[in-house]
Structures are given as structure tokens and as C-alpha cells.
Amino acid sequence: MNFTQVFDMLNLGLVILDKDLHIQYWNNWMATHSGLVKENLIGRNLLDAFPNLDNPIFARSIKSVLTFGNYYFFSQKLHGYLFPMKTSGTFKGEFQMMQQSCTAYPIREDNKRISHICITVQDVTEIARYEKALIEMNLRDGLTGAYNRRFLTMRLAEEFERHRRYSRSLSLLMLDLDYFKKINDAYGHQCGDYILKDVCDTISSILRKVDLLIRYGGEEFCCLLPETDLNAALKLAERIRQSIAEKDFLYNDDKIHITVSIGVHEFRGDIDSSDTLLRKADEGLYKAKKAGRNKVFSV
């Protein structure tokens, strides 16, 4: 009985290879998503058709299937995909290629000899998207959308090691909203929440895409600035300070003015850890507040 019609109706990719990796079968799902005509692929070597698979990891996995009859799983989390296929419009902003979960397993003859390899391909782009969104939610502040302190702990250590290894510039800003408690007392906590979100939007509009805004706690924020020396960081801090000081924050019928104090520090030779960098920026913030607030200070 010929099961080709059944294989072509499956909502997953199905590829059958001989022991020399020549393509013997390419179902409709693979043809549709790859954009390649199956008749043009039959008999071709898989590595010629897909040069990205000509790598040691794929070679070892196929050898394991052929030699020992093992099943081999290609996890999306490790590999992303085996076969380069464009994602649909829904996912283009997040994934350039379809995310795939693939399995390679042996096909045996009646005498138990392995004669072919079958590879199944499952589109898991939507699952990967939800997982990415969940991870992002765990690393962001629910109110402002800025990254949270947990993210800062991880990313600051990573950036610190990278910049120490390659002697690149790295600076950190610590910001605190001045007299924020008075706003909560005078206008209520809903107004306070609105101000926090608006301040974050204002800061984000000034930062570069590579810069990272983090809510450190309460009304205190950090800006992690890769490839930024102290002079550039001070200029950026002053732009942030001035933009917030000059802005009218409108809440209901009220115009509310607020200022920020900012501490700045650059990774230099005297910084022995990411915690020290954070502490030095915090010392600058303390000096800015002690000097009367609405100031930028570096130590």
C-alpha cells in the first residue's frame, strides 16, 4: 500500500534520506514551507541542497542514527532550526526563520538493517514566541515596562565581564526621582504610578537601542550604557535630567513638575566587580542629592 497521500496530508515536515544522505522523499509540508519543488530535490544530496547542515553537530547526529540506530532530537532551544524557512508575517519581527523541533530516526529493512533515515520537522515558532514572552515578563517591571532588578543582576555581570575582557567602555547611571513621596501624598498613588511610567517613557526616548533602562526599586532607576565612556555618560545624564525637569507631567487637570538626581560612574581599572560599579554610581547619586537634588554627579 502506498502511504504517500497520508504523508502529504501531515501537518509537519517529513524527509527521507538514504545512507548517503540523498533525498528520497520530501512531503508537501516541506515543499510548501521551504518553497522548493520536491521533484527538483529528489536524488540530491541533502548537504548540497542545504549547506547549513554541513557541520560537525549534524554529521555526528546522523552517524549516531546510522551506526547505533539511535533517535536524535534537534531542540529548537539549542539549534533554532534545521531547514531555513521564512516565518509568517505574524512572527517576522521576532524570528527571521521558522523555529523547528526536529527528530531523526532510522528506517530498517526486514532484516533489521538500517537503510534510510527519516527526519520529521515541526513548526514550534508560536511556542518559542510564548516562551520568549514569558521570559521577558519575568525580567520586566509590571508597572513601567522597564527591566527589573533581577535582569540588572544578570546583565550587569555579563556586560562587566565582556567590557573587562575587551577593554571597552561601560558606564552606569543611577537615577532617583526627587521628593517622589510628596507627589504620592498630594495626588495619590495612581498619579505616582502615572509619573513613573511617563518618566520611563521620557528616559527611553533619549536612550539608544543598545542602552538598558532598569527599575531598581521604588522610584529609583538604572541605565546601563555599553560602549559609553564617562564623558558621554555625563552628557546623556544631563540630557535626561534637563528633559525631566523641563517637562509638564499632566495628570487630570494638574501640571506636575518633578526632577531627578543622577549618579554616574564608568568602569575603570579600580572597579573589581559589577557590584563595585553599582556602588560607585550609587555614591554619585548620594552626592547629587546631598548637593540639593536635580543634579548629576560622578565620583
Pair type for strands 170-177 and 114-123: unpaired
* 219 carries an active-site annotation: yes
- Catalytic residue, chosen from 159, 219, 220, 266, is 219
How buried is 295 (Cβ within 10 angstroms: 0-12 exposed, 13-18 middle, 19+ buried)? buried
Measure the CA–CA gap between 184 and 114, rounded to whole angstroms: 73
Across 49-151, the runs of DSSP E, i.e. the strands, are 72-74, 100-108, 114-123
Pairing of strands 296-298, 260-266: parallel
Q: Where are the alpha helices (DSSP H) in 125-187?
A: 125-138, 149-166, 180-187
Cell of 161: 565581564
Rounded to whole angstroms, the Cα distance separating 213 from 122 reads 37
Q: Catalytic positions, please? A: 219
